[in-house]
Amino acid sequence: MASEGLTSTAYIKHHLTNLTFGQHADGSWGLARNAEEIKEMGFWALQLDSLGWSTFLALFFLYFFRKAATQATIGVPGGLQNFVEWIVEFVDDSVRGSFSAKNDLVAPMALTIFCWVFLMNLMDLVPVDWLPMIAQQIGHHVFGMDPHHVYFKVVATTDPNITFGMAFAVFFLMIYYSIKIKGLGGFLGELAFQPFGKWGMPVNLVLEGVSLIAKPISLSLRLFGNMYAGETIFILIAMMYGAGWGMGIFGGILQLGWAIFHILIITLQAFIFMTLTIVYMEMAHQEHH
Q: Give pLDDT tens digits for 58-76.
A: 999 999 999 999 988 887 7
User: How far, in whole angstroms, is CA 188 from its chain's centroid?
Assistant: 31
Inside any domain, residue 179: yes
> CA angle, corner 20, sides to 14 and 26, nearest 5?
110
Considering the domain boundaries, does residue 81 fall inside one?
yes
> At 233, is the pLDDT very low, low, confident or very high (cuts 50, 70, 90)?
very high
Chain centroid to Cα 261, Å, comes to 19
Burial of residue 97, with CB atoms counted within 10 A of its CB: 0-12 exposed, 13-18 middle, 19 or more buried: exposed
Q: Is pLDDT of 147 > 90?
A: no
Give SS3 for 144: coil
Q: What percent of the chain has pLDDT over 90?
A: 66
The maximal CA–CA distance of the chain, rounded, in angstroms, is 71
258 occurs within a structural domain = yes
Q: Which domain holds residue 12?
A: 8-285
Instruction: Look at the alpha carbons of 204, 210, 212, 213 in this order and tell me if their dihedral is positive or negative.
Output: positive
Q: Is residue 3 part of a domain?
A: no
In a domain, 2, yes or no: no
DSSP H/E element including 31 = strand 29-31
Residue 257 lies in a domain: yes
Determine, yes or no, domain membership for 63: yes
- Residue 288 CA to residue 121 CA, distance in Å, equals 37
Are the beta carbons of 155 and 227 closer than 8 angstroms? yes
Distance of CA 11 to the CA centre of its chain: 23
Provide mean pLDDT across the span 92-115. Answer: 95
- The count of structural domains within the chain is 1
Could you give the angle at the alpha carbon of 159 between the alpha carbons of 271 and 50, nearest 5°?
Answer: 100
3: helix, strand or coil: coil
With a CB cutoff of 8 Å and minimum separation 6, the contacts of 147 are 136, 137, 139, 140
CB-side neighbour CA atoms (13 Å) of 122: 12
| Single-letter amino acid, residue 10 | A
Catalytic residues: 218, 222, 226
Total-model pTM: 0.92
71 alpha carbon, distance to own chain's centre: 30
Judged against a pLDDT cut of 70, whether residue 268 lies above it is answered with yes
Flag whether 1 is in a domain: no
Task: Report the pLDDT value the prediction gives residue 198, as an integer from 0 to 100.
Answer: 76
Q: What is the mean pLDDT of the chain?
A: 91
Q: Which of 215, 216, 217, 194 is nearest to 205 (CA)?
A: 194
